Amino acid sequence: MSEFVLEMKDVYKAFPGVVALNHVKLQLKPGTVHALMGENGAGKSTLMKCMFGIYSMDEGEIYIDGVKTEIKNPLDALGKGIAMVHQELQPIPARTIGENIYLGRYPMKKALGFIPIIDHKKMYEDAERVLKEVKMDFDPHTKVGELSVSQMQSVEIAKAVSANCRVLILDEPTSSLTQNEVEALFNIVNDLKSKGVAIVYISHKMDEILRISDEVTIMRDGQYIGTWEAKDLTTDFIITKMVGRELTNLYPPRSNVPGDVVFEVEDFTSINPKSFRHVNFNVRKGEILGVAGLVGAQRTELMEGIFGIRSKTSGTVRYKGRELNIRRPKDAIDNGIAMLTEDRRGTGIMGVLSVADNISIASLNKYLDYGFMLNDKKIEELVQDNIEKMNTKTPSSKTPIGSLSGGNQQKVLIGRWLANNPDVLILDEPTRGIDVGAKYEIYTIIADLAKQGKSIIMISSEMAELIGMSDRVMVMCDGRVTGFIDGKDATQENIMELATRFES
């Protein structure tokens, strides 16, 4: 009997033009939380997809309880006790919790003694039982679409539990959870751990890793760097190993000087009564305004309203005293506003199109000859210049953006907006799901833009990022602005106090 419940040895996987995993190993002990760390593009997700049977390895071996096995597909993995909760959850919203949990392995019974049909009674009873195990007090007949993100996640974990899994992969489980929800998740994780489940925990959040994990494996550029006991580690050490160099500062020095008020929003109210209402704020030239709030504070909705993606019932937007009439994103863009949206895959990238097309799409108007013909040469210059300035890692400008890592996709999208030379930049969670090294680069870009005199509005759910980067922090709660805090005075506590100021 091996001391490891699961062991991956010498895993090699290459994609066209890039080696994603270069002889990587991973050893999981039962009843432990094993953190897998590395920058985006380090190969963590690829390794997990190999373990879960989504990808097949080019070389390498997988042992379960010391016995060599092969994992053909996700259903096979589930059968062998390996379950995965994906970074982007993929539930079927129109079906019930019970059906989502037992999708693909419905309990069956025989009608009239010979017709196989789904045993709904058993399915919902079992579902109720596993939901209790993940501390979720929900009717399994509820449609998944009615749940919040954290509840959907609990359903996914319940699914894993229902398969009696021995290895559970959690890929960035807390990226869209509030603090309370994170605590609830940790309780579930500890509970599973005490039952002997080995948990692979992928996250970029250092404090979480150090708190919950027993062992840490670090990867860099598809290479295995090492495995350590978590209690021996410090944040600095992990970052150094992940980045491969010393990182002294998490945030770059800023030398921007906020000037006059240029961008004003007055009495902004959504057509949805539960969304943002009577919002007033302004941004100065060269200022970084952080926007804080809990999930559900309607920060994204407000900014999308300003940018013309969502409808409003009242409210005006002024730039340098001039009222802007914004009915759709194009109007906002024409008035020098840019917005990096929160959902990179859903509303940001055009996956099958090239990096070049993705960079140039918002600024094609500037590259017309005779008013109608695109100047390919100038566009290519823009693209190359952009890739260079943003330090985007891509095999070529013709590569489909979908094949780049999250951080590089984000750089392309920021580049798309910079090509337009906007005056006001709205950045919605600009560093979500991005590794430490790329984060620093993005902070540097933001600081530099503010220095150039651009007004920046940055929504973020990471307190440290808001405090580290903002000249001022605007806090929202339940659709209202509850206060402003000067960047120098901002603390987790005073932001949190404003963010939880619900109307009684």
Partner 1 sequence: MKEKKSFGNKVLDYIKGNPIVAMLTVVSIIVGMTVDNFFSWNNLSNLISNTAIRFIIALGVSGCLITKGTDLSAGRQVGLAACLSGILVQRADYSGRLFANLPEFNMFAALLIVIVLGAVIGGINGLIISRLKVPPFITTLGTQTIVYGLCLVLTNAQPIGGFAAGYTKLITGRIGDVKSFNLPYLLFVAIFFGFLFWFLYNKMRHGKYMYAIGGNEIAAEVSGVNTAKSLTLIYITAGIMYAIAGWLLAAKSGGASASMGQGYELEAIAGCTIGGVSTTGGIGTVSGVLVGVLVFELLKIVLQFLGVNPYYNYIVQGLVIVVAVALDIRKNIKKK
For binding to partner 1 (CB under 8 A), which residues are involved?
16-17, 55, 307, 309, 328-330, 333-334, 339, 341, 346-353, 357, 360-362, 364-365, 368, 372-374, 376, 416
DSSP 348: I
Strands 59-64 and 424-428: unpaired
User: 349: helix, coil or strand?
Assistant: coil
- 224 versus 307: smaller Cβ distance to partner 1: 307
- 16 versus 253: smaller Cβ distance to partner 1: 16
- 262 versus 362: smaller Cβ distance to partner 1: 362
Q: CB 37 → partner 1: shortest distance, Å?
A: 25
- 349 versus 475: smaller Cβ distance to partner 1: 349
Which tokens go with 165?
């899994």
- Sign of the CA dihedral with 133 first, then 138, 143, and 149 last: negative
**What is the b/e burial string over 210-248, where b = at least 16 CB atoms within 10 angstroms of the residue's CB?**
bebbbbbbbbbebbbbeebebeebeeeebbebbbeeeee
Q: CB 416 → partner 1: shortest distance, Å?
A: 7
d(CA 446, CA 288): 8
- 124 versus 367: smaller Cβ distance to partner 1: 367
Residue 23 CA to its chain's centroid (Å): 27
> Which helix (DSSP H) or strand (DSSP E) does residue 186 occupy?
helix 179-194
- 257 versus 368: smaller Cβ distance to partner 1: 368
Q: CB 362 → partner 1: shortest distance, Å?
A: 4
Distances from the Cα of 286 to the Cα of 190, 306, 390, angstroms: 46, 19, 20
Q: CB 327 → partner 1: shortest distance, Å?
A: 11
- For the chain, what is the radius of gyration of the CA atoms? 24
Q: CB 368 → partner 1: shortest distance, Å?
A: 7
d(CA 311, CA 9): 53
Q: CB 329 → partner 1: shortest distance, Å?
A: 5
- 16 versus 321: smaller Cβ distance to partner 1: 16
Contact 51, 169 (CB under 8 A): yes
Q: CB 102 → partner 1: shortest distance, Å?
A: 27
Q: Which burial class, exposed, middle or buried, applies to 325 when counting CB atoms under 10 A from its CB (0-12, 13-18, 19+)?
A: exposed
DSSP 42: S
Q: CB 353 → partner 1: shortest distance, Å?
A: 4
Q: CB 234 → partner 1: shortest distance, Å?
A: 38
Q: CB 374 → partner 1: shortest distance, Å?
A: 5
Dmax over Cα atoms in the chain, in whole Å?
80
- 422 versus 437: smaller Cβ distance to partner 1: 422
Q: Which burial class, exposed, middle or buried, applies to 175 when counting CB atoms under 10 A from its CB (0-12, 13-18, 19+)?
A: middle
- 328 versus 451: smaller Cβ distance to partner 1: 328
- 16 versus 113: smaller Cβ distance to partner 1: 16
- 114 versus 372: smaller Cβ distance to partner 1: 372
Q: CB 379 → partner 1: shortest distance, Å?
A: 9
* Amino acid symbol at 30: P
Residue in the block written with tokens 């979720």: 136
Those residues with Cβ within 8 angstroms of residue 460's Cβ, 6 or more apart along the chain or in another chain: 290, 291, 292, 429, 430, 431, 466, 469
